[in-house]
């Protein structure tokens, strides 16, 4: 596939386990995500190993700090050869603009996206931390700020993809975790959709972890999801 829509979440505690799983996946048919635990334990070496295996790597570290610190971290991530990385939109416009300037805006630059509200967040948590308005309005507001700050897209729940697509256009990238094929365990995700629903709602890329990585045959599970998207 020239533009695989599925990003497999390599949520493992060490590089050996992550690379063992990656070796079961065709890099032409999926991208992979490296998150906080794996990167903290295994460092840039695991990203390098995945890139050398031919994978597009989404480095999911959600940078959130003062603009100068985030800019330097994003530049370092770009030097690793990642395909995509993210910052947290709650860091504000100046932070996001600095991050975009640091990674550049050429065809070789990584895609830079912003995290809006975590897909594990429910209304009770939203109210608990004192955010105002509805969750959807907050996501749209943060995503609009991200676009105005030069970012290429956002991480969001698939449930917010339609209003984001309507307001921010077709080219603004929407990356949606919390994707669960029909019949899958929801786990700790609250705002979920099936892969078919998410693409129909306007998502560009789908982050899928356990339904693939916990399957007896991970590549077959990936192919089954691909087939469901074609249907």
Question: Is 1 inside any structural domain?
Answer: no
Q: Is 65 an annotated catalytic residue?
A: yes
- What pLDDT is stored for residue 184 in this prediction? 58
- Residues making up the annotated binding site for substrate are 11, 33, 60-69, 119, 180, 189, 209-210
Binding-site positions read: 11, 33, 60-69, 119, 180, 189, 209-210
Task: Assess if residue 82 is contained within a domain.
Answer: yes
List pLDDT tens digits, range 75-131. 999 999 999 999 999 999 999 999 999 999 998 999 999 999 887 888 999 999 998
pLDDT tens track for 48-82: 999 999 999 999 999 999 999 999 999 999 999 99
pLDDT in tens, 149-196: 999 999 988 888 999 999 999 999 999 987 877 655 545 444 467 898
pLDDT at 221 over 80: yes
The total of structural domains in the chain comes to 1
Out of 5, 56, 62, 100, pick the active-site residue.
62
Where residue 134 sits, what CATH number does that domain have?
Answer: 3.20.20.70
Does residue 72 lie in a domain region? yes
Q: Which two tokens stand for residue 6?
A: 């599925």
Please check whether residue 166 lies inside any domain of the structure.
yes
Active site residue 122: no
Active site residue 123: no
From the list 60, 100, 147, 152, the catalytic residue is: 60
Catalytic pick among 3, 28, 56, 65: 65
What range defines the domain where residue 212 resides?
A: 6-230
Model pLDDT, residue 159: 81
Residue 192 located in a structural domain? yes
- Overall pTM surpassing 0.95 (yes/no): no
């Amino acid at each position: 596939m020239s533009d695989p829509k599925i990003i497999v979440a390599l949520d493992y505690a060490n590089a050996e386990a992550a690379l063992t799983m990656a070796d079961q996946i065709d890099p032409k048919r999926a991208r992979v995500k490296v998150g906080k635990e794996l990167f903290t334990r295994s460092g840039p070496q695991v990203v390098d190993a995945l890139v050398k295996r031919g994978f597009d790597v989404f480095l999911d570290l959600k940078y959130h700090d003062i603009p100068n610190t985030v800019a330097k971290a994003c530049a370092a991530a770009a030097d690793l050869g990642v395909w995509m990385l993210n910052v947290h939109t709650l860091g504000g416009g100046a932070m996001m603009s600095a991050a975009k300037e640091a990674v550049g805006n050429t065809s070789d630059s990584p895609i830079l996206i912003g995290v809006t509200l975590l897909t594990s967040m429910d209304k009770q948590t939203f109210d608990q931390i004192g955010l105002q308005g509805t969750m959807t309005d907050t996501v749209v507001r943060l995503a609009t700020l991200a676009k105005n700050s030069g970012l290429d897209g956002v991480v969001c729940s698939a449930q917010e993809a339609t209003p984001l697509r309507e307001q921010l256009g077709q080219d603004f990238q929407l990356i949606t975790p919390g994707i669960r094929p029909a019949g899958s365990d929801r786990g700790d995700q609250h705002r979920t959709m099936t892969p078919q629903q998410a693409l129909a709602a306007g998502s560009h890329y789908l982050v899928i972890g356990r339904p693939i990585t916990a399957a007896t045959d991970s590549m077959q599970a990936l192919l089954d999801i691909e087939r469901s998207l074609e249907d």
